[in-house]
């Protein structure tokens, strides 16, 4: 069995080979000089294999060191970042994991999808093209004093809802921040007053007078903000008091524990058939005395109508015509239970009690290799994991127990 001495000797050998590769005139059999970048790729794979071996034998610290070398030598290889971040999670270092993931995402935002496509990285979604101010340059952490910067949302609605929280910090460093979110989120983000001037589809972005442009998903890395500075104990999104009051009067004026449900997940690919939450799984919750269930699902009108007609739930889908309406409904809930990352992120940003049903295949934001049920992003936010056999029933057993505890607490308060 190999001990630490053997692994040390292997590491020394690898380092020696790297030194020789850089400074010696190594050639192929045909006499061509072997390109330096090929050496780095080959050596990074060796370090990655060393890290994998250390991980298998349970030496997490050595695995981290090896994967750090991998990332340093091959900074565009997504698998290296994923392996390093996963090992940080397993080593109970969630903050370090988030930092390395943010670094990967700043390089390539498709990293957010990497775990869903790990078995076939060639099918990773292509990076979309976005219009940018023609005279600006990409921001990679340069001094923003007296400078203007344009930020664009690059991926899904849930990502924008989660990462728009970095805009106030960016605004504190720049003279002006312009931000173009997806059209459905403009009113919600304007209501939050995050310090950015919002652009829409009618804005002529190419003529915008700014010095820099940046992807929203790159801000975390280049701002180099510690996670504890995010203040997960407070809301950064706001809702309409008038809409909240209107919904309360019409639907929420009762003494029951008010539970919102949403089951439509963001499109995880591949394997989405194995992770979908079916509305039927929520039905047992409707029979818990003292519980009132509210459907916030917008994409399943037939299912919603069937559930509501049986008197099992209150269907709010017709009332929720915008994200600000959905936010107002969430504000009236005691807890949101959702496998929809967009609604879960929205509830988190509102600082509402949220139970997020996370599938076995998940993106890095939710730290699915970290055993704890909380998240570094939001307080009052709990992850409830899908069982390894892709069975959701154990998760719903946990939910039912927690809801019964809430009913008892409500009655005795």
- pLDDT, tens digit, for every residue of 172-184? 999 999 999 999 9
Strand partners, 338: 262, 356
The CA-atom distances, in angstroms, between 339 and each of 42, 234, 266, 297, 354 are 40, 22, 8, 11, 11
Q: Residue 12: pLDDT above 80?
A: no
Burial annotation 13-43 (CB, 10 A radius, 16+ → b, else e): ebeebbeebeeeeeeeeeeeeeeeeebbeeb
The CA-atom distances, in angstroms, between 131 and each of 120, 163, 214, 236 are 29, 20, 11, 27
Q: Residue 16: pLDDT above 70?
A: no
Query: What pLDDT does residue 274 have?
Result: 44
Cis peptide before 270 (omega within 30 of 0): yes
| More confident of the two residues 207 and 175 | 175
Query: What pLDDT does residue 24 have?
Result: 47
Q: Residue 373: pLDDT above 90?
A: no
Confidence of residue 359 (pLDDT cuts 50, 70, 90): confident
Query: What pLDDT does residue 272 have?
Result: 42
Among 14-18, 39-43, 326-330, 362-366, the minimum mean pLDDT is found in 14-18
Average pLDDT (368-392) is 82
Q: Residue 271: pLDDT above 50?
A: no
Confidence of residue 33 (pLDDT cuts 50, 70, 90): low
Separation of alpha carbons 79 and 63, rounded Å: 14
Residue pair 330/261 in contact by the 8 Å Cβ criterion: no
Average pLDDT (7-36) is 52
Strand partners, 242: none
In 4-77, where does DSSP find H-type helix?
Answer: 4-23, 36-56, 60-73
Separation of alpha carbons 156 and 236, rounded Å: 19
Average pLDDT, the chain: 83
Percentage of the chain exceeding pLDDT 90: 46
Each residue's pLDDT tens digit, 137-167: 999 999 999 999 999 998 889 999 999 999 9
Separation of alpha carbons 174 and 187, rounded Å: 23
* DSSP for residue 35: P
Among 23-27, 210-214, 247-251, 358-362, the minimum mean pLDDT is found in 23-27
Confidence of residue 254 (pLDDT cuts 50, 70, 90): very high
- Domains (range + CATH), the chain: 4-120 (1.25.40.10), 137-227 (3.40.50.1950), 241-412 (3.40.50.2000)
Query: What pLDDT does residue 47 have?
Result: 87
Query: What pLDDT does residue 162 have?
Result: 93
Confidence of residue 269 (pLDDT cuts 50, 70, 90): very low
Each residue's pLDDT tens digit, 328-353: 999 999 999 998 889 999 999 999 99
The pair of structure tokens assigned to 334 is 């005691």
Confidence of residue 207 (pLDDT cuts 50, 70, 90): confident
Residue pair 153/183 in contact by the 8 Å Cβ criterion: no
Confidence of residue 110 (pLDDT cuts 50, 70, 90): confident
The pair of structure tokens assigned to 307 is 């559930």
Confidence of residue 126 (pLDDT cuts 50, 70, 90): confident
Q: Residue 284: pLDDT above 90?
A: no
Task: List own/partner pairs for 66-70 with CB under 8 A and 24 or more apart.
Answer: 69/44, 70/44, 70/45
Q: Residue 306: pLDDT above 60?
A: yes
Give the CA dihedral 146, 147, 152, 153, nearest 10 degrees.
Answer: -40
Sequence-distant (≥ 6) Cβ neighbours of residue 15 within 8 angstroms = none
């Amino acid at each position: 069995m190999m001990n630490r001495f053997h692994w040390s000797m292997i590491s020394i050998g690898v380092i020696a080979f790297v030194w020789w590769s850089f400074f010696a005139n190594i050639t192929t059999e045909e006499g061509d000089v072997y390109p330096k970048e090929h050496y780095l790729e080959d050596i990074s794979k060796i370090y990655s294999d060393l890290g994998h071996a250390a991980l298998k034998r349970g030496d997490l610290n050595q695995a981290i060191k090896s994967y750090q070398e991998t990332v340093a030598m091959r900074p565009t290889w997504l698998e290296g970042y994923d392996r390093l971040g996963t090992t940080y999670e397993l080593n109970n270092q969630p903050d370090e994991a988030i930092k390395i993931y943010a670094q990967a995402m700043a390089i390539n935002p498709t990293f957010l999808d990497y775990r869903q496509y790990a078995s076939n990285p060639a099918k990773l979604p292509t990076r979309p093209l976005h219009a940018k101010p023609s005279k600006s340059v990409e921001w990679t952490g340069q001094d923003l004093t007296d400078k203007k910067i344009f930020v664009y949302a690059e991926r899904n609605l849930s990502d924008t809802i989660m990462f728009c929280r970095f805009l106030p910090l960016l605004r504190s460093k720049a003279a002006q921040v312009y931000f173009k979110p997806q059209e459905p989120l403009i009113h919600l983000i304007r209501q939050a007053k995050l310090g950015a001037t919002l652009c829409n589809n009618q804005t002529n972005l190419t003529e915008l007078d700014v010095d820099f442009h940046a992807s929203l998903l790159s801000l975390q890395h280049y701002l180099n903000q510690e996670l504890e500075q995010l203040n997960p104990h407070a809301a950064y999104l706001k809702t309409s008091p008038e809409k909240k009051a209107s919904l309360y009067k019409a639907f929420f004026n009762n003494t029951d524990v008010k539970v919102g449900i949403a089951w439509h997940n963001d499109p995880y690919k591949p394997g989405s058939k194995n992770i979908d939450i079916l509305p039927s799984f929520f039905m047992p919750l409707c029979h818990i005395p003292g519980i009132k269930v509210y459907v916030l699902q917008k994409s399943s009108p037939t299912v919603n109508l069937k559930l509501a007609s049986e008197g099992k739930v209150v269907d709010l889908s017709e009332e929720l015509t915008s994200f600000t309406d959905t936010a107002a409904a969430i504000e009236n809930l005691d807890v949101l239970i959702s496998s929809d990352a967009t609604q879960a992120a929205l509830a988190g940003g509102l600082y509402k009690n949220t139970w997020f049903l996370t599938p076995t295949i998940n993106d890095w934001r939710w730290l699915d290799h970290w055993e704890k049920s909380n998240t570094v992003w939001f307080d009052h936010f709990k992850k409830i994991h899908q069982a390894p056999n892709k069975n959701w029933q154990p998760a719903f057993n946990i939910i039912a127990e927690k809801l019964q505890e809430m009913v008892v607490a409500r009655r005795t308060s």
